[in-house]
Structure 1
Amino acid sequence: MSHTPTAAGTARTVTQTVAAVVAVVFLLAGIAGFIPGLTTHYDQLTVAGHHSGAMLLGVFAVSVLHNLVHLAFGIAGLALARTGRGARAFLIGGGVVYLVLWLYGLLVDHGSGANFVPVNDADNWLHLGLGIGMIVLGLLPLSAGRPRADTR
């Protein structure tokens, strides 16, 4: 079935549900980046820059800025997932953003001040996967039939 009923009785497309799930994952990543234990070397968490020694799940370089970006991305994704077009825009546009971040991570010297996000090799692979995955999900015809009237 291509639509899931909501409490208000309106149908939600599969694309909207997928976008909302992706957005929630970003929210969880942003929150996890502020939780000692889930983030190792938490005492080395900096506001921004490559000097942050904090590592989400012991693998991904994070900073306060990095965590806040994940939170903002998740909030934007939930807001955009309210309509079919918004959900697609979030998935495709967000995928493009993550491909740009992947390129940034490949080109920036990880030990320089230009690495303000910060990123490491694990982040780069994650950004590539997120970019491709989000774009593919945004382009897939996940809902059969006619879209709802409020997908504009």
Structure 2
Amino acid sequence: MTRSPVQIAALAVGAVFLLVGILGFIPGITTDYDMLTFAGHHSGAKLLGIFEVSILHNVVHLLFGIAGLVMARAAATAKAFLVGGGIIYLVLWLYGLLIDMDSAANFVPVNNADNWLHLVLGLGMIALGVLLGRRAVAATAPGATPGTVR
């Protein structure tokens, strides 16, 4: 089975999210693991000692990873995963900038490192989806020969 570049990108992004979700549950890779809580800003656990995580945060990464792997099966859904996921991460970035990180509103939880990572992820996923997705759609348009780009 041949995969388009957008499918490969969605597969890779999904696999990374799955890996990050798993790593969030491994003591040592996640520092202060004994402070890991289900949700909320009181979770003191940090993935790689940098990114604040909770059980909810890790589960979201796992679900995002599974969605990426499943949606990578077709070019259109792979593009939807990358662009839609990128939009979600940009919204999460804005959310992290606007909330008081010491309040109950920080239920995910996020810190400054998470916020900037979410910005990069959001922009990167959207760019991958738009740029690679355009080629996949053009190559599968009626009358197009597979492998060509219009």
- TM-score, normalization: structure 2? 0.90
Q: In the alignment, does 2:113 pair up with 1:122?
A: yes
In the TM superposition, residue 148 of structure 1 has moved relative to its aligned partner by 8.5
- 1:147 partner amino acid: T
Gaps of 5+ in 1: 1-9
Aligned equivalent of 1:113: 104
CA 1:108–1:146: 2 relative to 1, 3 Å:
same
CA 1:106–1:148: 2 relative to 1, 3 Å:
same
Contact 1:32 1:56 in 2 (8 A): yes
CA RMSD in angstroms, aligned pairs only: 1.5
Aligned equivalent of 1:4: none
Gaps of 5+ in 2: 143-150
Question: What does residue range 15-26 of structure 1 map to in structure 2 within 5 Å?
Answer: 15-26=6-17
In the TM superposition, residue 61 of structure 1 has moved relative to its aligned partner by 0.3
Q: Which of the residues 116, 140, 149 maps onto 1:147?
A: 140
Contact 1:11 1:148 in 2 (8 A): no
Aligned equivalent of 2:63: 72
- 1:80 partner amino acid: M
1: CA distance, partners of 2:128 / 2:119: 14
- 1:105 partner amino acid: G
Q: In the alignment, does 2:65 pair up with 1:82?
A: no
Tell me, what secondary structure is at the counterpart of 1:93?
helix
In the TM superposition, residue 141 of structure 1 has moved relative to its aligned partner by 3.7
Identity of aligned residues (%): 64
Q: Which runs of 4+ in 1 moved over 6 A?
A: none
- TM-score, normalization: structure 1? 0.88
State the aligned residue count. Answer: 140
- 2:76 partner amino acid: R
